[in-house]
Amino acid sequence: MFIFELMNSSLDTAKHQGQRKLLIDRLAGMGISDQKVLDAMLQVPRHWFMDPGLESHAYDNKAFPIAADQTISHPYTVAFQSELLEVKRGDQVLEIGTGSGYQTAVLLTLGIKIYTVERQQELFKKTKRLFSKIHLHPKKVIFGDGYLGLADDAPFQGIVVTAGAPSVPKPLLQQLDVGGRLVIPIGTEEQIMTRFTRISEKEFNKETFGTFRFVPMLKDKN
């Protein structure tokens, strides 16, 4: 399935595709080894998720501003978090921090059922409109506070937080399926990428994977 075929191919030109291929090769060179993640990122036109004024930079391995003082994550970070989730087709995944929708699109392309939550109203509306325009269909796109997770739709085989959390929100651990993984950057100034795997009802395995910089995970809606 190639969901983006629905769009006019002129909006994803050979030049875009060539730049994207170079970016994906670079990510592989930086250590991203999950071929499914690389293939998904090769399919998703990142420039659709960015301000048109920044289109020529869409395939730079950099974060860029989107609306409401937020950022679209580095491609490397998107790849790294997607890889750590170790999702398989049909899994149910919760994303906290929809932002531009780029990571949502990558996860959808991996064939998973995605629920995504954004606390910032302007971004939520903008990205929801974009999803319908490009025929992307997450299971749910929610305006809400990700600190609470999404109890009604739990359990999730994967949860990914795309903003820096000062500590791990307990509801997110509770909403993980046994065997499921929560990938969350933890810290204030900078964050340590952390993965919690639920190994039983009461036990979690915690692993850490280096330092990153995210916009902060904030409480309540705005």
Sites for ligand SAH among residues 105-134 (CB under 6 A): 117-120, 123
With residue 59 as reference, give the H or E element that holds it. none
What residues are paired with 115 via a beta bridge? 94, 140
Q: Which stretch binds ligand SAH (CB under 6 A): 31-39, 93-101, 178-186, 190-198?
A: 93-101
Which of 9, 10, 56, 73 is labelled catalytic?
Answer: 73
Cβ 124 to ligand SAH, closest distance in Å? 8
Asked if residue 99 binds ligand SAH (CB under 6 A), the reply is: yes
Helix (H, G, I), strand (E, B), or coil: what is residue 180? Answer: strand
Distance CA 191, CA 184 (A): 9
Number of residues that bind ligand SAH (CB under 6 A): 23
Asked if residue 83 binds ligand SAH (CB under 6 A), the reply is: no
For residues 119-141, one letter each, b for 16 or more C-beta atoms within 10 angstroms of the residue's C-beta and e for the rest, the string is bbeebbebbbebbeebebebeeb
Is 33 an annotated catalytic residue? no
What residues are paired with 198 via a beta bridge? 204
Cβ 218 to ligand SAH, closest distance in Å? 4
Q: Which stretch binds ligand SAH (CB under 6 A): 19-27, 30-38, 141-149, 151-159?
A: 141-149
Asked if residue 168 binds ligand SAH (CB under 6 A), the reply is: no
Q: What is the DSSP string of 92-129?
A: EEEEE--TTSHHHHHHHHTT-EEEEEES-HHHHHHHHH
List interacting residues with ligand SAH (CB under 6 A).
Answer: 70-73, 96-97, 99-100, 102-103, 117-120, 123, 145-147, 162-163, 215, 217-218
